[in-house]
Amino acid sequence: MVLRFPTKLTLACVFWLLFQVSAKAGELIGRAILNADTFAVGSTSGQFKQTQRSLPFHHAQPVQGFSSVEPGPRPGTYFVLSDNGFGSKANSPDYHLRIYAVEPDFRNGQVYPVHVKTGDRLPRFNHDSFIEFRDSQRQISWGIIADSPNYPQSQIPVSPWIRNQRVLTGGDFDPESFRRVKSSFWVGDEFGPFLLHFHPRGELLQPPIPIPNLTQVGTATTIRSPDHPDFVNLSREQRQQQANLPGSGGLEGMAINPAGTKLYLMLEKTLVGDKPKRLLIYEFDLTAQKFTGQVFQYQLEQPHYAIGEITAINDREFLVIERDHRQGDPNHPGFKQPAQFKRIYKINLNQRDGDGYVSKKLLVDLLRIADPRGIGGRATKNGIFTFPFVTIESVLPIDRRTLLVINDNNYADSVGRDPKQVDNTEFILIRLRQDLDLEVGR
């Protein structure tokens, strides 16, 4: 028997075929773009942010930084959750926390504001296009931005809009995930982290719910990040020493089962002192309104990676966005260290390996999406479309074969498409090669 080793040409063909198989796992079938410089009515914002944009934004709020998506008031429309505004508590106390209602039109590639109740298109992002979070019933036991005459560390008066309506701002919470249950909204915060429950009109319905330390990593009874309100009077070094979760590592993902009875809350980063690649998924009973004690383990591909979202397919299977911390199109010569890892995995909570981690299977490589029809325009090279943004935080199954995926453009800091141009918000539709076992409920 004669052994024949592959030639360089043969190896090249093998790698090419593997690349094509990976790309064909998902095909781009729609793309719509919301311009980065899109604004909604509101009080003056950006007074504490340094950016290349002209600041502040007088009597306006940027419509940006979407961290999660849910079905909207009618088919084809969506609710999208804005994050804390500009990236931190310190620079976002004048940013209003909101859920916006939008309609991506994949025929003309544009995204429109719609009425939060009817889904009808609106001429602009006005009061009818969003739900604004408020603590009008004073459920929060610590001071919020609305309680102060001036914004923190400044002599700038807090906006009357924020004070009079007790609007929650990016100086209070960092909403990174949400789900609609009947008519109310459950929101996952990153700063505490906390689980928040809101009325459909935006009022906070109960005190923020802390996340218990169910795996007993360390001695603390709850999970607390350096931005937890318990640490408000400590120095930055002291806050980091007291916290058992890294900054920006809170409730990044939230899923709800089809029956609408349980939430699954996923931390973005590993607990301090825990196994380097282990992330935790907590089960929360919506009927009893308490954590069940069940915790699932998810294993990252690399310790420095993070997750962007978790979304239910059915009672046992979920989608998880996993990503690196890089940005930039690998095909663009202007990026010296482009994005390398942006993927969607399918996990099964009922299947676990010997170490207790849930099973995971690669579903879509977001840097290798087939685009035979050229829908991606200049973002497509040689038939492959890339989604190379640093934070990709929204995924929603539209049907058994179609996913909606949205980036968080971190207005105006991320530059994933062009190193000289801030990112827009892109809504893309991906057609899968195989059906999902999708169960629709609620």
Give per-residue pLDDT as tens, 202-235. Answer: 999 999 999 999 999 989 999 999 999 999 999 9
Going by pLDDT thresholds of 50, 70 and 90, the confidence category of residue 442 is low
3-class secondary structure per residue, the chain: CCCCCCCHHHHHHHHHHHHHHHHHCEEEEEEEEECCCCEEECCCECCCCCCCCCCCECCEEECCCEEEEEECCCCCCEEEEECCCCCCCCCCCCCECEEEEEEEECCCCEEEEECCCCCCECCCECHHHEEECECCCCCCCCCCHHHCCECCCCCCECCHHHHHHCECECCCCCEEEEEEECCEEEEEECCCCEEEEECCCCEECCCCEECECCCCCCCCCECCCCCCHHHCCCCHHHHHHHCCCCCCCCEEEEEECCCCCEEEEEECCCCCCCCCCEEEEEEEECCCCEEEEEEEEEECCCCCCEEEEEEECCCCEEEEEEECCCCCCCCCCCCCCCCCCEEEEEEEEEEECCCCEEEEEEEEECCCEECCCCCCHHHEECCEECCCCCCEEEEEEEECCEEEEEECCCCCCCCCCECCECCCEEEEEEEECCCCCCCCCC
Domain that holds residue 361: 300-442
Share of the chain above pLDDT 90, in %: 90
What confidence score (pLDDT) does residue 55 get? 84
Q: Model-level pTM?
A: 0.93
Going by pLDDT thresholds of 50, 70 and 90, the confidence category of residue 18 is very low
Going by pLDDT thresholds of 50, 70 and 90, the confidence category of residue 7 is low
Does 306 fall in a domain? yes
Does 336 fall in a domain? yes
Does 272 fall in a domain? no
Range 151-175 average pLDDT: 97
Does 82 fall in a domain? no
Does 309 fall in a domain? yes
Does 284 fall in a domain? no
Query: Is the pLDDT at 3 greater than 60, yes or no?
Result: no
What confidence score (pLDDT) does residue 393 get? 97
* CB distance 243 to 169 below 8 Å: no
Does 323 fall in a domain? yes
What confidence score (pLDDT) does residue 370 get? 98
Query: Is the pLDDT at 17 greater than 60, yes or no?
Result: no
* Total tally of structural domains belonging to the chain: 1
Query: Is the pLDDT at 23 greater than 60, yes or no?
Result: no
Does 341 fall in a domain? yes
Range 132-143 average pLDDT: 97
